[in-house]
Homo-oligomer: A and B are copies of this chain.
Amino acid sequence: MRDKLFQSPQAAIHDLPEGATVMVGGFASAGVPEHLIRALVERGTAGLTVIVNSIAADRAVDALCRKRQVRKAVTSFAVRASAARRGLFEEQYRQGLVELELVPQGTLAERIRAGGAGIGAFYVPVAPGTVAAEGKETRVLNGRLHVLERPLRADFAFIRAHKADRAGNLVYRGAGRNFNAVMATAADVVVAEVDEVVEVGALDPEHVVTPGVYVDRLVVCRRGPVPWYQEEA
């Protein structure tokens, strides 16, 4: 069996090219692939399009803006409610230095699922008449105005899971699945950082959330008590 296990986050993303589109899982503190993000910050790869639920609340991802690695974000949260805590992305957005595609959170998740599931496009009743529908086709279906949405795919997906087996099967913890489980289906190279890797057969087939066929690379990164980005921020 092909070995998917890499020795470090750096090694697991060694071939991530300039200008790549990168999906990053995580929601607030849950399921954030922070070691992979840090490795990408260290690597300094520029021209990135980042697809992430929140670039405003996730300071790990926001750190990619320190050296202007982000060209564009596709996200549901780009600006924090409080003006007192502006992120780097927000600063650069207000200066016109980065591009923003703002997407309702459910539509973001569904577009990623569509990218992984071979759906060419789909209609949702969400956001007609709002800024999130600007420039998009609309259509009345079943008596209700819908917006046509397109799938999202990426070159790389950064995933945080709880355990993996060596075949790449993943299980998560609590609210850790969030965008990780859909992003795992929608990128050419899926890299999962996990708390622990177990032997093939150690995960119950009934409990696997992400099948190993979706996962290309694994790296073990234990979580510390304090996320690194809080220390550094």
Contact = CB atoms under 8 A, between A and B. Distances in A.
Interface residues of A, number: 23
Interface in A66-124: 110, 114, 117-124
Contact of A118 (B120, B121, B125, B139): B125
A199 interface: no
Count this chain's copies in the assembly.
2
A220 to B, nearest CB: 20
Contact of A206 (B114, B117, B172): B172
Contact of A123 (B119, B144, B146, B174): B119
B123 A171 contact: no
Contacts of A173: 206
Contacts of A120: 122-125, 139, 141-142, 144, 146
A2 interface: no
Nearest to A106: B118
A130 to B, nearest CB: 16
Contacts of A125: 118, 120
Contacts of A206: 171-174, 207
A121 B147 CA distance: 10
Interface in A4-49: none
A172 B146 CA distance: 34
A199 to B, nearest CB: 20
27 contacts: A110-B117, A110-B119, A118-B125, A119-B122, A119-B123, A119-B124, A120-B122, A120-B123, A120-B125, A120-B139, A120-B141, A120-B142, A120-B144, A120-B146, A121-B122, A121-B123, A121-B139, A121-B141, A121-B146, A122-B122, A122-B123, A172-B206, A173-B206, A174-B205, A174-B206, A206-B207, A207-B207
Closest 7 CB pairs of A and B: A120-B123, A120-B141, A122-B122, A120-B146, A121-B123, A119-B122, A207-B207
Interface of A: 110, 114, 117-125, 139, 141-142, 144, 146, 171-174, 205-207
Given A122-B122, A122-B123, A207-B207, 15 more contacts: A110-B117, A118-B124, A118-B125, A119-B122, A120-B122, A120-B124, A120-B139, A120-B142, A120-B146, A121-B122, A121-B123, A121-B141, A172-B206, A174-B205, A206-B207
